Amino acid sequence: MGEPINIDVGLEGVFKFNGPVNLKISGKFDGELEAKGRLIIGEKADIKAKIIKVDTLVIAGRVKGDIVCSKRLDLYSTARVIGNVETPLLITQEGAMLKGSCLMPVDEERADRKESHSKKKEEG
């Protein structure tokens, strides 16, 4: 996907990107953000969002608000998150902080495969 576009200024408002993006926010942001693709919250970023909806989110800074990721959420050791999270895959480094609820929806097909694999082990 290449290097992300770095946004190092204060932003406020509702931002919706229709196409795939590769963004990094290094400054302040206040509002809502929805995008396909990847968003990186830099270590010095301070985000206050009603909601962030993206495919993949990497957080190294501060985020206050709810997060919905369709693919994965990575919390680096410097991440400080206050809000509810929904993601099928959560990766955290030691030292990361998450204060809120975490919902990890299960892909029905994947859950069925795991269940059938477990039954085969028990039978075998």
pLDDT of residue 92: 97
Question: Cβ distance 21 to 38 under 8 Å?
Answer: yes
Structural domains in the chain (count)? 1
Q: Which of 20, 26, 81, 3 is nearest to 11 (CA)?
A: 26
- Where residue 124 falls among pLDDT bands split at 50, 70, 90? low
Chain-centre distance for alpha carbon 92? 11
Q: What is the pLDDT of residue 117?
A: 54
pLDDT greater than 80 at residue 111: no
Residue-number span of the structural domain to which 81 is assigned: 5-123
User: Do residues 81 and 95 lie in contact, with contact meaning Cβ atoms separated by under 8 Å?
Assistant: no
Dihedral of alpha carbons 41, 104, 83, 70, sign = positive
| Least-confidence region, from 9-23, 45-59, 86-100, 103-117 | 103-117
